[in-house]
C-alpha cells in the first residue's frame, strides 16, 4: 500500500485514528510511536523533539521521506515556523503556512488585531518578560514555545526559579483568568469559516497545573450557546485576515464574575479536542480538513454543517482524559489494555497505549481514556 498521507507531530495518534475511520492508513512521524498507532498507521517513524519543540530531523531528510505525498502537522509544530517554512518548500503541505502561523501565534499581534476589530473577546492583560508585574498573585508565566500548557506556571513559581530573563527563556507574563476553559473547533478556507463545535478543556498533571489533560463535549451550556454567533463572526474575520485554512482551534476561557470571554491562543492546526466531536458525530473530521485543500468548491462546508447538525441532535457526551504517571512506571503485557480496532466504538476504551517494556517517568502521559455518556 502506498502512503496516502503523512502526519508529523509529538502525538499523531488522534489524527491517525481519524484517517483510519475515513478509510486511510497514514504514515506517521511521531514522538511516542505507541502500540495502537503502529496498528492503524501504514508506517510509523519515531521522532524526537528538542526542548523548544523542534523536530530532530533535518528538513532535507523530511522532504525526502514525504516526497509529493500530502502531509499534515500537529503540535508542537505551530511553534516552529522556520522549520515549517523550509519543510513546505517543494512539498504538499495540507495545513497553514509558516506565514499564517507566525501571525496568529504572535500574541501581541493578535491582541492588536482584536482591539482594532472591537471584538467582545480579548486577550488577558500581558506584559513582556522584562516588565514583571509588581503583584505576582493572579499572574502566569508563559514561554513562547509552550504547547499543551506544559510550560505555563504561576508567576510566583517562575520567580522562585530566578531565571526570568527573555534571553534564557523567551516568554511573557499574562494575567490569570479564573473560570472554565474551552476548545473551539473551526474549519475554514481562508475566506469563510464554520465553527464545528466546542469542548470543555480539562487541565492538570503532576507538577504542571495548566497542562492539557483532556476534553469533554460537545459543550451545551447556556453561556457557550450565547457565544456561538460571536465565535462565528470572529472565526470568519480571522480566516479572511490571516488566511487560516483547514481545521484549527482557539482556546477561550469564561470569567463568570464579569461575564466576559477571553482568547488564550490560536492553534492553527488540528487539535486534540476535535477527537471528541468526531466520536459523537461519527464523522471523520480529517475528511473536512482534507476537503478544504482538495475541493475547490464548498464541499467542505457541506461536511462541517452536516457534522454540526448531528452534534446538535445528539445527546451523547464523550470525555477524553489523559492519564498521567504519578510515579515512574514500566509496562508489561499484563498491565496494558487491548487495542480497540473498531472504527466507531460505543463503549469506553483506551488509546495512546505504550508498548510492553516502555518506561514512563513520573508526571508524563501514560495513556488516554475515552468514555461515553449516553444519559445527557
Domain with 253 in it: what CATH number? 3.30.470.20
Q: Which of the 8 DSSP states describes residue 368?
A: E
The whole-number pLDDT of residue 161 equals: 60
Q: Of the residues 75, 94, 113, which one is the last residue of a structural domain?
A: 94
192 and 151 inside one domain? no
148 and 262 inside one domain? no
- Can you tell me the distance from the alpha carbon of 190 to that of 59, in angstroms, rounded to the nearest whole number? 26
189 and 337 inside one domain? yes
The whole-number pLDDT of residue 168 equals: 60
SS in 3 state form for 252-274?
Answer: EEEECCCCEEEEEEEECCCCCCH
Structural domain contains residue 344: yes
CA distances from 136 to 144, 154, 178, 207, 354 (A): 19, 8, 15, 19, 40
333 and 369 inside one domain? yes
223 and 170 inside one domain? no
Structural domain contains residue 116: no
Structural domain contains residue 104: no
- Can you tell me the distance from the alpha carbon of 118 to that of 147, in angstroms, rounded to the nearest whole number? 28
Q: Of the residues 175, 191, 207, which one is the last residue of a structural domain?
A: 175
CB neighbour class for 5 (10 Å; exposed up to 12, middle 13-18, buried from 19): buried
Structural domain contains residue 109: no
Structural domain contains residue 58: yes
The whole-number pLDDT of residue 56 equals: 94
Q: Which of 229, 242, 303, 301 is nearest to 268 (CA)?
A: 242
Range of the domain at 88: 6-94
CATH of residue 82: 3.40.50.20
The whole-number pLDDT of residue 375 equals: 85
Q: How many domains is the chain partitioned into structurally? A: 3
156 and 291 inside one domain? no
The whole-number pLDDT of residue 355 equals: 95
Structural domain contains residue 233: yes
Structural domain contains residue 100: no
Cα torsion angle, 5, 10, 16, 18, sign: negative
Q: Counting every residue, how long is the chain? A: 376
The whole-number pLDDT of residue 40 equals: 94
219 and 277 inside one domain? yes
- Residue pair 188/234 in contact by the 8 Å Cβ criterion: no
- Residue pair 296/194 in contact by the 8 Å Cβ criterion: no
Q: Residue 78: CB partners within 8 Å, gap ≥ 6?
A: 101, 105, 147, 267, 268, 269
Q: What is the CA radius of gyration of the chain?
A: 20
285 and 186 inside one domain? yes
What does pTM read for this prediction? 0.94
- Residue pair 265/107 in contact by the 8 Å Cβ criterion: yes
The whole-number pLDDT of residue 347 equals: 95
* CB-based burial, 35-67: b 16+ in 10 Å, e otherwise: bbbbebbbebeebebeeebbbebebeebbebbe
The whole-number pLDDT of residue 167 equals: 46
Q: Of the residues 156, 175, 194, which one is the last residue of a structural domain?
A: 175
| Number of Cβ atoms within 10 Å of the Cβ of 258 | 9
81 and 230 inside one domain? no
pLDDT less than 50: residues of the chain: 1-2, 164-167
Structural domain contains residue 302: yes
Q: 208-217 and 193-205: which strand pairing? A: antiparallel
186 and 169 inside one domain? no
223 and 339 inside one domain? yes
276 and 240 inside one domain? yes
Amino acid at each position: 500500500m502506498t502512503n496516502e498521507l503523512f502526519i508529523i507531530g509529538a502525538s499523531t495518534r488522534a489524527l491517525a485514528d481519524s484517517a483510519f475511520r475515513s478509510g486511510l492508513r497514514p504514515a506517521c512521524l511521531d514522538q511516542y510511536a505507541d502500540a495502537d498507532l503502529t496498528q492503524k498507521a501504514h508506517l510509523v517513524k519515531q521522532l524526537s523533539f528538542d526542548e523548544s519543540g523542534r523536530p530532530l530531523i533535518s528538513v532535507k531528510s523530511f522532504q525526502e521521506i514525504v516526497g509529493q505525498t500530502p502531509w499534515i502537522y500537529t503540535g508542537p509544530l505551530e511553534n516552529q515556523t522556520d522549520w515549517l517554512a523550509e519543510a513546505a518548500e517543494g512539498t504538499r503541505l495540507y495545513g497553514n503556512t509558516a506565514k499564517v502561523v507566525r501571525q496568529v501565534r504572535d500574541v501581541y499581534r493578535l491582541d492588536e488585531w482584536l482591539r482594532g476589530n472591537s471584538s467582545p473577546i480579548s486577550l488577558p492583560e500581558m506584559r513582556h518578560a522584562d516588565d514583571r508585574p509588581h503583584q505576582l498573585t493572579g499572574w502566569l508565566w508563559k514561554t513562547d514555545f509552550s504547547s499543551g500548557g506544559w510550560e505555563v506556571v504561576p508567576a510566583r513559581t517562575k520567580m522562585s526559579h530566578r531565571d526570568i530573563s527573555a534571553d534564557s527563556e523567551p516568554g511573557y507574563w499574562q494575567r490569570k483568568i479564573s473560570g472554565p476553559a474551552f476548545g473551539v473547533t473551526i474549519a475554514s478556507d481562508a475566506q469563510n469559516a464554520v465553527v464545528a463545535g466546542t469542548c470543555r478543556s480539562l487541565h492538570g498533571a503532576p507538577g504542571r497545573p495548566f497542562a492539557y489533560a483532556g476534553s469533554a463535549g460537545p459543550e451545551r451550556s447556556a453561556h457557550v450557546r450565547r457565544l456561538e454567533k460571536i465565535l462565528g463572526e470572529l472565526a470568519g474575520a480571522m480566516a479572511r485576515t490571516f488566511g487560516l485554512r483547514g481545521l484549527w482551534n482557539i482556546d477561550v476561557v469564561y470569567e463568570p464574575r464579569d461575564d466576559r470571554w477571553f482568547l488564550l491562543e490560536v492553534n492553527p492546526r488540528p487539535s486534540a479536542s476535535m477527537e471528541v466531536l468526531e466520536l459523537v458525530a461519527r464523522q471523520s473530521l480529517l475528511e473536512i480538513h482534507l476537503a478544504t485543500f482538495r475541493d475547490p468548491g464548498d464541499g467542505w462546508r457541506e461536511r462541517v454543517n452536516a457534522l454540526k447538525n448531528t452534534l446538535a441532535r445528539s445527546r451523547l457526551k464523550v470525555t477524553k482524559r489523559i492519564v498521567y504517571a504519578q510515579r515512574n512506571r514500566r509496562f508489561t503485557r499484563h498491565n496494558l489494555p487491548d487495542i480497540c480496532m473498531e472504527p466507531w466504538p460505543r463503549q469506553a476504551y483506551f488509546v495512546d497505549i505504550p508498548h510492553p517494556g516502555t518506561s514512563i517517568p513520573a508526571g508524563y502521559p501514560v495513556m488516554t481514556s475515552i468514555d461515553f455518556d449516553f444519559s445527557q
